[in-house]
Amino acid sequence: MSDKESEQSGHHPRPLSAAALRAKAIESLLVEKGLLASDAIDRVVEIYEKDVGPLNGAKVVARAWCDPGYKRRLLEDGTAAVAELGFGGLQGAHLVVVENTPKVHNVVCCTLCSCYPWPVLGLPPTWYKSLPYRSRIVREPRAVLREFGLELPESVEIRVWDSSAEIRYMVLPERPAATADMSEAELASLVTRDSMIGVGRL
Amino acid sequence: MDNYDRLFGNAGYIARRIAGDISGPTAIPRRNGEPVFNEPWESRVFGAAVALCEQGLFEWEEFRERLIAEIAAADAARDQSAGPQSSYYERFLAALERLLIDKGICAKEEIEQHEVAEPTDEHEHR
């Protein structure tokens, strides 16, 4: 990861703690033994930071896929439905959950700042807060989604939801095919952060 | 079957199992539901443990048993002294080292030699 590089090759490196030295020794030994590739660590950390963070949202999505009654309540009143699972703390804002279907794809942004439903999705990614995303996703959503690797057919309508201090949005992604046998916990493990922002699909 | 291949065959599966461990002593530190690494080495040691497990060098449960033991030992030591407490990832690191030694993957002496061998800039060696 580039953080690691800059940390270690900086002009004024801080002295490393005993634990940091030990961790480095173990890593370099494992690399030397051919048991571990540095990029394997990078990959794990990336998955962990990106997809494991929004665990609460993933649980909400999986419950909605498994329980039609819950799904109905979630779409009617997101705040109350996520509170059923113990997730609150929206600081007075209301959570609105928007559902993806084969014909409609939803994507969330905050054009003015970085409003984000953090009790369910964790902390917003850097790009979510960036000016290019905030300004372009409303103007040219199809092009921006393409840059995220999401190519949607022209027949799919794209709806962009601009978050505010009062309303935070979250996307309910479509349940992937061939998951009928999976448990709710297994389903939750499939749900990514990007799919709940709407810049990715499952 | 795409999702199975994408997630269950790789580190994501293990990382998510860890993420599912959200309460109790072995649960990873979080802030606002988001995993927290305070220092770069913490994410490196976490990543190393998951990657090694993914490669089949050990079962996650074997690691977890040692993490529980390290946490219990650290908690007991804290009751004895007023000194600074070890952090979650210091215990995590100790558990990984213990496991690598127990499984015969690394010797303690080798680890110590590597610690001495690279005092400053590891880029020189690579």
* A44 shares its domain with A68: no
Residue B7: the pLDDT is: 41
What is the distance in angstroms between the Cα of A139 and the nearest Cα belonging to chain B?
31
Cβ neighbors of B41 (< 8 A, separation 6 or more) are A16, A17, A19, A20, A23, A24, B89
A41 → closest Cβ in B44, B121, B125: B44
What are the pLDDT digits (tens) for B102-117?
999 999 999 999 987 6
- Please state the rounded mean pLDDT for residues B11-24: 60
Output the six-digit token pair for A60. Answer: 């909400």
Same domain for A165 and A72? yes
Tally of domains in chain B: 1
Average pLDDT, chain B: 76
Domain identity same for A80 and A166: yes
Let me know if residue A202 belongs to a domain. no
* A53 shares contact with chain B (CB less than 8 Å): yes
How many other C-beta atoms lie within 10 A of the C-beta of residue A72? 12
Q: Which residues of A touch B118 (CB under 8 A)?
A: 24-25, 28
* Contacts with A82 (C-beta within 8 Å, 6 or more apart), sequence order: A56, A60, A74, A88, A95, A119, A120
Whether B33 is in a domain gets the answer yes
Range of the domain at A15: 2-50
Q: Do A41 and B47 touch (CB under 8 A)?
A: yes
Distance CA A43, CA A10 (A): 23
CA-based radius of gyration for chain B: 16
The answer, for A1 touching chain B at a CB cutoff of 8 Å, is yes
The catalytically annotated residue of A38, A113, A130, A135 is: A113
Q: Which residue of B has its CA nearest to A27?
A: B48
Q: How many domains does chain A have?
A: 2
Residues of A in contact with B97 (CB under 8 A): 22, 26
The pLDDT-based confidence of B120 (bands split at 50, 70, 90) is low
What Rg value do the Cα atoms of chain A yield, rounded?
A: 20
Chain A residues whose CB is inside 8 A of the B2 CB are: 176, 178
Contact in structure between A38 and A8 (CB atoms under 8 Å): no
Question: pLDDT per residue over A138-185, tens digit each?
Answer: 999 999 999 999 999 999 999 999 998 789 999 999 999 989 999 998
A43, A70: one domain: no
Residue A86 shares a structural domain with residue A172: yes
Task: Extract the tokens encoding A46.
Answer: 């990336």
Q: Using CA atoms, how far apart are residues A129 and A55, in angstroms rounded to an integer?
A: 20
A110 is catalytic: yes
Question: Does residue A27 carry a pLDDT above 90?
Answer: yes
Question: Which residues in chain B are contacts of A170 at CB distance < 8 A?
Answer: none
Asked whether the whole model's pTM tops 0.80, one would answer: no
Residue recorded with tokens 């439905």 = A81
Note whether A46 and A58 are same-domain residues: no
- Work out the average pLDDT over A28-46: 88
Assigned token pair, B35: 């995993």
Give the HSE-up count for residue A182: Cα atoms under 13 Å, Cβ half-sphere: 21
